[in-house]
Structure 1
Amino acid sequence: MSASAKATALLATSIGLVACSGGSGSSGRKLDTDYSGLRLATSTDGALHYATKDGRVLDALRNGIRMSLAGAPEIAVVGGPAAFSDRAGGYSRTTVQVAGVDEADLVKYDGHHVYAVVPKPVPSSGTAPTGLIRNVLKVVSTDAVSAATQVVSEFTLAGEHSSVPLLYQVQSSSGDTEYLAAVSQDSRAWLQAQPVIGTLVSQPDRTIVQFLDVRDPSNVSQAWQIELDGWLRGSRKIGDTLYLVSSYRPRLAGLVLPADTLETRQANERRILEASAADLLPGYRINGGTELPLVTPRDCVLPADLSSLDAYADLVVITALDLNQRRVTDVNCISTNVNGVYVSIDSLYVGGEGVAADGAPMTVLHKFLLNRGDITYRASGAVSGRIGWTNASYFMDEYRGDLRIVTSRADVHGLSVLRETTDRRLIAMARLPNTQHPAPIGKPGEQVHAVRFFGERAYVVTARVTDPLYAIDLSNPVDPFIAGELEIPGVSTYLQPIVGPTGAALLLSVGRELNAQGVRTGIKVELFDVSDVARPHSLGVQVFGKIGSSSDATEDPHALTLLPVGHTDSYRFALPIDVFDTPSYDGRFSWTYSGVHLLQIDGLAGATPHLSLAGVIETAEPDRSNAYPRYPVPNRSVLHDECVFVVNGDTVMGSMWSRAAAEPAQLPSVEFGMQRVRL
């Protein structure tokens, strides 16, 4: 909504609050405590409209509270193309899905300093441990010539009840980081979820953004903080605008549990009727100050046929923050469940689960236009099936205004192309398979493990024991078809497109090797030539370890670091792996070592690109007191020219790429600013 529309809505809401503050739920009114006719409003694929009457939104939220008191099941609300981010400057950035759309991570780098959030236990008081975590921002200066590192400062972020914050950078025109936006979740609502003295505790979920001044890296300070009611589901940054997607459930204070008498039921109903917009809608606080309204009813979109019996258990709230001006610029809300958030440069899509008329699962999609902090609802639609839960955003992609999406219904998988119409609908222009192209995506019993859209192509990996890679031609958006297929052992869980200087198209995959019984064994990295979409073929594979081996990069793209070399004839990349390769007495394998594995793709300008292992930076190995890897947080690496900087929990180490290849067992590192050598 525009700023003027929001101002009008705020004024209308203020007037409405004054008008309804008295009379509702008065002691002389007959109270209806029969909630059996209420029903949760389901996600709809019909066009939505901004609310024109406050009561339609507020009454649906009141019904949601009534249903929760009656024991109705709650709606489950959960959790999201660029070949690379901009690589100018000779160093790697956070691996992202869409060029120009930044994603939060535990580690950020600007060519001079590594910024890493390290969770540390709060020291116990007395004999009992606290069980709390304090989050420490570690700032480490780097030398891209010698690979030297030096801890500059450590800053403890406020909030021992929060999740580990994820970082965004606000950089100057020269690329130096001036501020960091640390996004986290306050968990106190979960710690106080039990009734106290018969009254339901109403501590809300809260999303926290802490704005940290790092212009002087040795003297970090908090410049600003905003707390928003709601549980964070995803975030993205475009320019200096931070978009937050959160789910909010009203927690109305003063409700008595258990409501097992007519008197308590009527008291609860009276409290529900008296609840104002301020009670039912989320708010926010700046620097711990007075709570302000985050959402007004006029910010919400809803179906035209919403009835008086429909209930909203949750609201999904999309908030835009201007990080330069440090203010909320716009908010939209919608009632839907969420199992995927996708953000392009221009649009934000929320994907929720729905049920078709025949009872079949479907994915309901809602599109919002993003324009420099202004959010506007555009359209809704639905497709059969559901998107994956892991890296759900990668199952969606916007290209030239169309949304492409891969969904599954059991082991039947399909691709749909949706287009916005003038009547606010997302209409499927094409589906695959279809009568002209009936070949299925995947074989019986196979599940989708990875999806990647890139321009006019889509790559889909399904697997049970073998790993079929499907290359789909989307050059004609109304007539997609499977152009090529390659069947290989193993399963890929992440796909990274790579384009060479001559236009050669490659696909890098990270996943798992599978044995004959379908058991996942070592970590598998493979390079594919997809220049000819009809004939994809493997150019090389590297497998690390046996059963028990693991890598963050199989599930989290941010754990994979990439950097072009020279004129992009080569690409270097790094990923952490815990290698289990030592035979054990019971026929299994024990932990051998953990380390950052350095790989390289060469020959991009020639006819035969190839994949090779360049070296390993070992970060841990077993000893008498440490027989298993400790899974440090964060576990990331940064590539800068000929240097590799590794962030391994509280340890930051640097190495020259060539030295890591020549002497992988002898590497300098820095921990708390002190030198140590692993032998």
Structure 2
Amino acid sequence: MYQSLSSTISLSIILLGLAACGGGSSGSPLAANGSIEKGLLRAVKNDAEFIDQFRAAYTRPVDSNNNLQAVAANEANAPSADNGGDSTSYSTTYTLENNVDELDVLKYDGDHLYIAPTLQSRCCFVSQGGAFADSASFAPPSPEQSSGIRILSTNSETATTAELSTIPLEAGEFVQGLYISETQLISIGSSQYYGPYGVQWLGIFGWQQQNLTINIYNTSTITQPELTWKIGIEGGLVDSRRIGDTLYIISRHSPYFDNIYTYPANRNEANANAQQLAAIQPQDIIPTLTINGESRPLFSPQNCLLSRDDPKRDYAYPVITSVTAINLSSPNTAQSVCFNEDSSGVYVSQKALYLSQARYTSQAGNTRIHKFKLNAGSPEYSGSADIAGQLWGPGQTDFRMSEYDDLLRVVTTIYTSDSTDLRDHQLSILRENTDTKSLDLVGSLPNTQRPQEIGKANEALYGVRFFEDRAYFVTFEQIDPLYVIDLSAPADPYIAGELEIPGFSDFLHPINSNLLLGLGQSAQNQGMVKLSLFNVSDINNPSELGSLLLGKEGGWNYSEAQYNRHAFTYLQQADGSDRLTVPVQSAYNTEQDGYVSENRLYLMEINGKTNAAAASLDLIGNIIASPAPSNNWYGGQNRSVIHNDAVFFLSGDYIWSALWSDSSQQTGPQ
């Protein structure tokens, strides 16, 4: 049970001039003096320009929007918490950046599991070939499927759980994920979800007539969570982060108008659109922010950002990207930044948010990156850069960006017209220049002094991981070269070492500066998931210490952790060993039962890590998500939590659990 929205909350509705990203510097994406005199972005001059920028997207024939078409065509053909820091008693959501929490379907506070119900329409996991799965790949609805957010208590000594409460969902409410912050549970819902990068960013229809909802519950009384804040944003959810007491929401919105040619094919259709949109006003375009029933514009036109006049850029785009900062202690002071141009993806560090655009001013194309500092929770524009190649695509592409020591490291792929070598991979290292509001190039690889390419001819870039002053890249066509890049001198990065082994790794996890894990597919045992342990203590001579094959031999095996870091769990132990879990979904045929589909959580340890040459990767056991009543198919979410000697495995909507020391004695489903 949960209590209804408290009627005692009163909102101080901020005037439009001060709300969202309008008005004073505290809510402005502009510089502290309220203006942007330099940099690739500038503020919208007035309401008329804001309207004209939007109207232009529908009043030019599609053949004028050749840059947008080029982006779509090229993208369509493109290939494919604390994560082991100081030891603690239980694991939390695996994140790209330490201290930058990420939205997920399972959260744990050491005492309670918070579980969002499976979304059967969740999009998308990525297949080995880089293609998106179709709807047939997802689990069918289950009669027992939870209709709400479940809260379970845990006992780490016995590895058992008990249901405490369920927060029911309204009709049509879809929870994309959760956060927990002290005694707050934050639920974020959206009718659709396309992910923080990929081809979906290029469309228009997907961002129309959408709304996202942020519900904040007080869980002081865990058996009766109280809904204290209900926030609505007009638009579709892209991604979110929580840094301390601030929740960041990245959303996109395209206003819907009747009788509009979305992609005008000729001048007649463009003219018809111009007539239809002749009388529109800013309020017809700006999305709405609603907090506990009180509504206001999400931002003001004059504080939206545009690229400076660019004669090579002759198209407009009718989808607005917004970054909204919500203080969890006072959500009614939410502030937003509006970027009124096309976007391709987002990356968030502890200090900044980076928004990027795929731009085609040449055949190979390039990526434009805009940096927004996260000062006191308010995004503030601080510089831009253009780099060669494409950044975003299927998979966990934000691993291709990393901020470290105030430097941004980025790896892009340049698609060529050379049939013998279709793609080149480029590393760029950038530093913010406060005087020019630019991200200046410090170093790159390859370069004239170090011309060796990253990857052999035609090899695609799979796993990427930056770790302090190193980078690890995995490329693949027929073998798996692991490259170790030395970044200790940012102006002169170089390939320090290379290892060639069969197969490839999609996901890389640095254990420390001497050991690296790689999760991917085996080439020798096709269909098997492969987890490898690499010794990288000698940066010039990386080696594979050992590997484990996970799944059912002869079957089809897949790990959600290959393409979703939240499915991977890692926990350091006080005794110096590390524990990790990887879920694997297997499908195979048997003579007795025919086609069988099962989910297993594999339990493994890293032992002897203080001596890299003697370290080992050891399989301890597994937990099987046995069929629940009337549901013998588990798709969707697979997550796990390690707490002391207990392991809790979420598969679909149910929890299985066991002790690490004896995983064969498991309980569930709960």
TM range, smaller chain: 0.7 to 0.9
Counterparts of 1:525 and 1:11, CA distance in 2: 52
Counterparts of 2:112 and 2:53, CA distance in 1: 49
The two structures have a TM-score, normalised by structure 1, of 0.79
Partner residue in 1 for 2:364:
360
Counterparts of 1:528 and 1:590, CA distance in 2: 36
Deviation (angstroms), 1:146: 1.2
Matched to 1:537, the amino acid is S
Q: Alignment partner of 1:278: what SS?
A: helix
Structure 1 residues 470 and 130: alpha-carbon distance in aligned structure 2, compared to 1, 3 A threshold: closer
Q: Does the 8 Å CA contact 1:201/1:253 hold for their aligned counterparts?
A: no
Partner residue in 2 for 1:30:
none
Counterparts of 1:188 and 1:8, CA distance in 2: 24
Q: Alignment partner of 2:238: what SS?
A: strand
Alignment of 1:245-644 (within 5 A): 245-252=250-257, 269-287=274-292, 289-305=293-309, 311-356=316-361, 358-389=362-393, 390-410=395-415, 411-421=423-433, 422-499=435-512, 505-515=514-524, 520-544=526-550, 545-546=552-553, 547-567=555-575, 569-580=576-587, 591=596, 593-606=598-611, 608-620=614-626, 630-644=633-647
Q: Does the 8 Å CA contact 2:235/2:252 hold for their aligned counterparts?
A: yes
Counterparts of 1:414 and 1:258, CA distance in 2: 34
Q: Alignment partner of 2:425: what SS?
A: strand
Counterparts of 1:7 and 1:295, CA distance in 2: 7
Q: Does the 8 Å CA contact 2:22/2:303 hold for their aligned counterparts?
A: no
Counterparts of 1:96 and 1:424, CA distance in 2: 29
Matched to 1:294, the amino acid is L
Counterparts of 1:263 and 1:604, CA distance in 2: 69
Q: Alignment partner of 1:216: what SS?
A: coil
Deviation (angstroms), 1:145: 1.1
CA RMSD of aligned residues (A): 3.8
Q: Alignment partner of 1:511: what SS?
A: strand
Q: Deviations over 1:40-98 (max 9, x none)?
A: xxxxx96212223232222111222334899978788999xx87166664000000111
Q: Deviations over 1:565-594 (max 9, x none)?
A: 114x11000111123466789xxx964742
Q: Does the 8 Å CA contact 2:623/2:657 hold for their aligned counterparts?
A: no
Q: Alignment partner of 2:94: what SS?
A: coil
Quick check: 464-473 or 215-224, which moved more? 215-224
Matched to 2:41, the amino acid is L
Q: Does the 8 Å CA contact 1:87/1:93 hold for their aligned counterparts?
A: no
Matched to 1:647, the amino acid is L
Matched to 2:582, the amino acid is L
What percent of counterpart residues are identical? 31
Deviation (angstroms), 1:277: 0.8
Q: Does the 8 Å CA contact 1:352/1:363 hold for their aligned counterparts?
A: yes
Q: Does the 8 Å CA contact 2:93/2:569 hold for their aligned counterparts?
A: yes
Counterparts of 1:521 and 1:369, CA distance in 2: 44
Partner residue in 1 for 2:124:
none
Q: Does the 8 Å CA contact 1:6/1:299 hold for their aligned counterparts?
A: no
Matched to 2:557, the amino acid is S
Q: Alignment partner of 1:495: what SS?
A: strand
Structure 1 residues 269 and 290: alpha-carbon distance in aligned structure 2, compared to 1, 3 A threshold: farther
Larger radius of gyration, structure 1 or 2? 1
Q: Alignment partner of 1:541: what SS?
A: strand
Deviation (angstroms), 1:217: 2.1
Q: Does the 8 Å CA contact 1:202/1:253 hold for their aligned counterparts?
A: no
The two structures have a TM-score, normalised by structure 2, of 0.80
Counterparts of 1:530 and 1:83, CA distance in 2: 21
Q: Deviations over 1:84-142 (max 9, x none)?
A: 166664000000111110111100001100001113789xxxxxx999x9852111100
Partner residue in 1 for 2:44:
51
Q: Deviations over 1:526-557 (max 9, x none)?
A: 11111121111111100123451111111101
Q: Deviations over 1:207-228 (max 9, x none)?
A: 2212123222211232221111
Counterparts of 2:410 and 2:533, CA distance in 1: 24
Q: Does the 8 Å CA contact 2:51/2:282 hold for their aligned counterparts?
A: yes
* 2:118 aligned with 1:119: yes
Q: Does the 8 Å CA contact 2:193/2:237 hold for their aligned counterparts?
A: no
Counterparts of 1:304 and 1:594, CA distance in 2: 52
Deviation (angstroms), 1:147: 1.1
Matched to 1:169, the amino acid is I
Q: Does the 8 Å CA contact 1:202/1:252 hold for their aligned counterparts?
A: no
Structure 1 residues 216 and 583: alpha-carbon distance in aligned structure 2, compared to 1, 3 A threshold: same
Q: Does the 8 Å CA contact 1:415/1:432 hold for their aligned counterparts?
A: yes
Q: Does the 8 Å CA contact 2:59/2:271 hold for their aligned counterparts?
A: no
Q: Does the 8 Å CA contact 1:161/1:187 hold for their aligned counterparts?
A: no
Which of 180, 185, 189 is the aligned partner of 1:180? 185
Q: Alignment partner of 1:311: what SS?
A: coil
Deviation (angstroms), 1:165: 2.1
Q: Does the 8 Å CA contact 1:188/1:203 hold for their aligned counterparts?
A: no
Partner residue in 2 for 1:84:
83
Counterparts of 2:562 and 2:294, CA distance in 1: 43
Q: Does the 8 Å CA contact 1:364/1:383 hold for their aligned counterparts?
A: yes
Deviation (angstroms), 1:407: 0.6
Q: Deviations over 1:248-270 (max 9, x none)?
A: 21223576999999999988645
Deviation (angstroms), 1:290: 4.5
* 2:179 aligned with 1:168: yes
Q: Alignment partner of 2:625: what SS?
A: strand
Q: Alignment partner of 2:517: what SS?
A: strand
Deviation (angstroms), 1:157: 2.3
Query: How many pairs are equivalent?
Result: 592
Counterparts of 1:512 and 1:230, CA distance in 2: 37
Q: Deviations over 1:330-363 (max 9, x none)?
A: 211223433331111111111221113x322211
Q: Does the 8 Å CA contact 1:448/1:460 hold for their aligned counterparts?
A: yes
Q: Does the 8 Å CA contact 2:401/2:409 hold for their aligned counterparts?
A: yes
Which of 644, 654, 657 is the aligned partner of 1:654? 657
Structure 1 residues 583 and 536: alpha-carbon distance in aligned structure 2, compared to 1, 3 A threshold: farther
Structure 1 residues 223 and 114: alpha-carbon distance in aligned structure 2, compared to 1, 3 A threshold: same
Structure 1 residues 481 and 152: alpha-carbon distance in aligned structure 2, compared to 1, 3 A threshold: same
Q: Does the 8 Å CA contact 1:578/1:591 hold for their aligned counterparts?
A: no
Alignment of 1:63-212 (within 5 A): 63-67=56-60, 84=83, 89-119=88-118, 135-160=147-172, 162=174, 164-171=175-182, 178-187=183-192, 204-212=209-217
Counterparts of 1:622 and 1:141, CA distance in 2: 20
Deviation (angstroms), 1:559: 0.2
Counterparts of 2:450 and 2:566, CA distance in 1: 36
Structure 1 residues 202 and 606: alpha-carbon distance in aligned structure 2, compared to 1, 3 A threshold: closer
Counterparts of 1:575 and 1:48, CA distance in 2: 43
Counterparts of 1:444 and 1:394, CA distance in 2: 22
Structure 1 residues 667 and 9: alpha-carbon distance in aligned structure 2, compared to 1, 3 A threshold: closer
Deviation (angstroms), 1:668: 1.8
Counterparts of 2:106 and 2:547, CA distance in 1: 28
Structure 1 residues 350 and 581: alpha-carbon distance in aligned structure 2, compared to 1, 3 A threshold: same
Q: Does the 8 Å CA contact 1:134/1:159 hold for their aligned counterparts?
A: no
Structure 1 residues 477 and 262: alpha-carbon distance in aligned structure 2, compared to 1, 3 A threshold: closer
Q: Does the 8 Å CA contact 2:599/2:634 hold for their aligned counterparts?
A: no
Q: Does the 8 Å CA contact 2:84/2:570 hold for their aligned counterparts?
A: no
Q: Alignment partner of 2:277: what SS?
A: helix
Name segments (4+ residues, structure 1) moved above 6 Å: 2-5, 68-79, 200-203, 256-267, 306-309
Matched to 1:477, the amino acid is P
Structure 1 residues 261 and 303: alpha-carbon distance in aligned structure 2, compared to 1, 3 A threshold: closer
Q: Alignment partner of 2:426: what SS?
A: strand
Structure 1 residues 154 and 270: alpha-carbon distance in aligned structure 2, compared to 1, 3 A threshold: same
Deviation (angstroms), 1:4: 12
Q: Does the 8 Å CA contact 1:456/1:473 hold for their aligned counterparts?
A: yes
